[in-house]
Each structure stands twice: as C-alpha cells, then as structure tokens.
C-alpha cells in the first residue's frame, strides 16, 4: 500500500533567497512575480541534486554548473522557490517516493499525485509555486498534469535544452512545465520554445480509444469520453475548420506502449547501468523490478521494439497526424488518478495501458499539451492535444483558442 506522507513532501529543498552564481534576474522580465519550482533532476550550481534517491546524493558531487533552462527562467524574473521531489531517477509515473515521501494530490488525497514530476505538479496545484519545471520522457509532465488538474506541456524532443540535468532515456527526454493557467504556461513557452515556421492547426482528429480493459480506459471513463466528444464537437467545429472522430484501437496503443517501454529500457540501462551495478543503490520494489527488466533487455529486444515503433508510427502518421496542420485530441490518461490503495500488480498493469496514451508523442518526438478540461470520478482528468514534430507553436495556439472558448468547462 502507498500512503500520502506529509503536506511538505513536494519540496525537496527550500531555495528561497538562494542566489545562483552568474545568474542575474531581470525584475521587469516576462516571468517577474512568478514563483519557480525545479524538479530535483536539474543541476543548480552549489545545490545538491538527489534524483529522488539518497544513494544518488551520496555518490555524486554537488553540481558546479546550472541548467541553462533554469537560468533562462530566473533571468526572465522567475523567483527560484524550491527544488521539488521526483520519483527515483524519474523512472515512474506514480509520484510515489519510498525515501522522501509521497506528495499529497490536492484534488483528492486518496489518489496518487502522478510522476515523475510529482513535486512540481503538487506544489503548483496547492499554490506553493506558479511554475513547476520538470522533465517528460514517458509522460512525467502530462500524467501529473492530468491527475492534479493542471496545464502541462511537453515540447518536441530537442526543442528545449536538456543540459546540466540527470537524464533517463536521452532519445526521449524532454524538459516541460506545469501551471495552473494557460497564460502562465504560454509565458514560459515564450521564453523557452524558439520561433518555428508559422503554422496553424486546420484539421483536428478526435481519438476515440477502443477495446481498453478495466486496467486501462474503464467502461465508465470510455462512456464519459464519448459523451464529452459529443459535447465538444460543435464547439471544436467553431475553432477548427476540419474536425473528425476516429477510433484508436487498443491493439495500436499496446504496440506503442510495448515499443516505447523496451526502447526506453535499453536507454535507461545504458545511462545508469554502470552506476547501479557499482553503487548498488536501494530503490523501491517496483522501480527496482523495472530496472532489472531493463538490464535483461537484449539488442534483439531493442531491434524488435524499433520495428514495432516504426509500424506504429506508420499507422499514426497515416491515420492521425498526417502533416503539421493536423493535431489529435485524446484523453491524457485512462481516467482519474489511481487510488493510493491500488494493488501493486494492478498499478503495474495500469501503467502499461497508460503508456499506450503517452507513448505516441514520445515515439513521434512530438509536442503534447494536457489541458484540465474534464473530470472522472469527481477527480481531475486531462485532455491532450498532440501535434507533429516541431509544431509546438501551432499546438500552443490551438490550445489557447480552446482555453479561451466555451470548450474550457471542467464540468463537461
């Protein structure tokens, strides 16, 4: 059983009044007045980085350099408030940390907060900070955004710098952020996302997931999503000229999940295997089991996963994201956050289904934004826009139109 710990568990290190060397804040910058929390994977000169694990802290020196993303946000006026808790080496979507505690989901304290950017999400949701900086490899911004009723953006892979941070799987790692409102999210994007060729989303494909088991999109959640789609269509048609609904088979989501998890697993072991075998760190049981699985993966497994990924991408690009003017609207997660009391084996199965919804953007290296537009079981449930690689600005522009319209109604 997992338990929510204390209300301060989201904060790993209080950074109020800490001055980063060679980093001068502009009091009139575009982010002036906003409090910033930084996931404890980002290096800040003079401050320790724990990666959510005490053994990592013991075996690594205090950083002497600062993430360029962190510096950019502070130089634009954001106030560094805290380093925030992460799941161990960011290898979880649950937000549960057996060493430092589990941040309490402010929307429903009986549910997991989602990870691995758990501390950043909860600190934003409970009002401690305004910008929650995090990373997203397999869903670590999008999932906690959905679970906590937040806006969360994962940019195209490679668009935002990933220097001076602890990676998980470099070919999929991105830097993302969480906010309580779209305006703040867009202010951060204006600082971090470089200009791209002007573009507009002219075709929106609404994905209707099919055939999910009860560990995935539940019968009730699927029914809710269908009702939401019916309610959204007239409003979306007023925003986008071409809107259509397509079924998204569970088999294709499973193919994406299987491919992504294996490819990610091979990269994780390349990234951290030597340290794990040399330092013999203590991990939570579920994370330890996944790391041992990563170790067991072979080159043949990786080759098979790559073929599976290409099969999925060919389908995805033919049926859903056909060009840079197309976006997909779909549930961010299978429903509300799982309960803290969910059995470990059920949560592991749920994770595989969850990654069927997060893996498409990861495999396509595409931008995705989760918007807090829905509820499930009286708890937050996010809806996502996914675009083509390097269509970040177009996706953000469409998200703004949706957020400004009557579509943004959390009671739908």
Burial status of residue 166 (CB atoms within 10 A of its CB: 0-12, 13-18, 19 or more): buried
116 is catalytic: yes
Residue with tokens 């929307």: 107
CA dihedral sign of residues 267, 271, 274, 277 = negative
**φ and ψ at residue 37, rounded to 5 degrees:** -115, 135
Residue from 116, 117, 120, 146 carrying the catalytic annotation: 116
C-alpha distances (whole Å) from 57 to each of 50, 168, 258 are 5, 16, 32
User: Is the CB of residue 349 less than 8 Å from the CB of residue 400?
Assistant: no
With 0-12 / 13-18 / 19 or more C-beta atoms within 10 angstroms meaning exposed / middle / buried, residue 233 is middle
Specify whether 30 is catalytic. no
Please name the residue that has the structure tokens 């999400």.
121
The catalytic position among 67, 92, 117, 140 is: 140
Exposure pattern of 296-333 as b/e (b: 16+ CB <10 Å)?
ebeeeeeeebeebbeebbebbeebbbeebbbbbbbbbb
Tell me 104's DSSP state: -
- The answer to whether 140 is a known catalytic residue is yes
**Which residues belong to the active site?**
39, 116, 140
């Amino acid at each position: 059983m997992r338990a929510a710990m204390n209300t301060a568990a989201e904060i790993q290190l209080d950074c109020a009044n800490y001055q980063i060397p060679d980093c001068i804040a502009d009091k009139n910058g575009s982010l002036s007045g906003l409090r910033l929390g930084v996931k404890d994977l980002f290096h800040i000169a003079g401050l320790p980085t724990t990666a959510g694990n005490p053994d990592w802290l013991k075996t690594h020196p205090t950083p002497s350099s600062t993430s360029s993303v962190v510096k950019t946000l502070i130089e634009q006026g954001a106030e560094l408030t805290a380093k925030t808790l992460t799941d161990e080496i960011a290898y979880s979507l649950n937000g549960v940390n057996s060493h430092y505690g589990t941040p309490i989901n402010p929307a429903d304290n009986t549910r997991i907060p989602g990870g691995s950017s758990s501390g950043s999400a909860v600190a934003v949701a409970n009002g401690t900070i305004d910008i929650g900086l995090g990373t997203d490899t397999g869903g670590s911004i999008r999932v906690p955004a959905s679970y906590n009723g937040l806006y969360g953006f994962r940019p195209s892979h490679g668009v935002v710098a990933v220097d001076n941070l602890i990676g998980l799987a470099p070919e999929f790692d991105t830097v993302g952020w969480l906010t309580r409102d779209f305006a703040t999210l867009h202010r951060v994007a204006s600082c971090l996302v470089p200009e791209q060729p002007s573009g507009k989303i002219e075709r929106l494909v609404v994905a209707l997931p099919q055939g999910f088991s009860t560990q995935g999109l539940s019968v009730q959640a699927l029914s809710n999503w269908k009702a939401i789609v019916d309610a959204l269509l007239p409003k979306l048609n007023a925003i986008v000229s071409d809107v259509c609904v397509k079924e998204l088979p569970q088999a294709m989501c499973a193919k994406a999940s299987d491919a992504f998890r294996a490819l990610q697993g091979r990269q994780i072991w390349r990234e951290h295997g030597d340290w794990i075998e040399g330092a013999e760190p203590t991990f939570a049981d579920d994370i330890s089991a996944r790391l041992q699985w990563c170790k067991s993966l072979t080159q043949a497994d990786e080759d098979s996963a790559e073929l599976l990924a290409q099969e999925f991408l060919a389908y995805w690009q033919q049926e859903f994201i056909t060009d840079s003017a197309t976006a997909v609207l779909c549930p961010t997660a299978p429903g509300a956050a799982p309960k803290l009391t969910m059995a470990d084996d059920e949560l592991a199965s749920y994770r595989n289904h969850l990654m069927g919804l997060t893996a498409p953007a990861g495999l396509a290296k595409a931008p995705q934004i989760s918007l807090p537009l829905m509820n499930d079981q009286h708890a937050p449930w996010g809806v996502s826009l996914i675009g083509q690689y390097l269509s970040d600005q177009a996706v953000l522009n469409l998200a703004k139109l949706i957020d400004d319209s009557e579509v943004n109604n959390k009671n739908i």
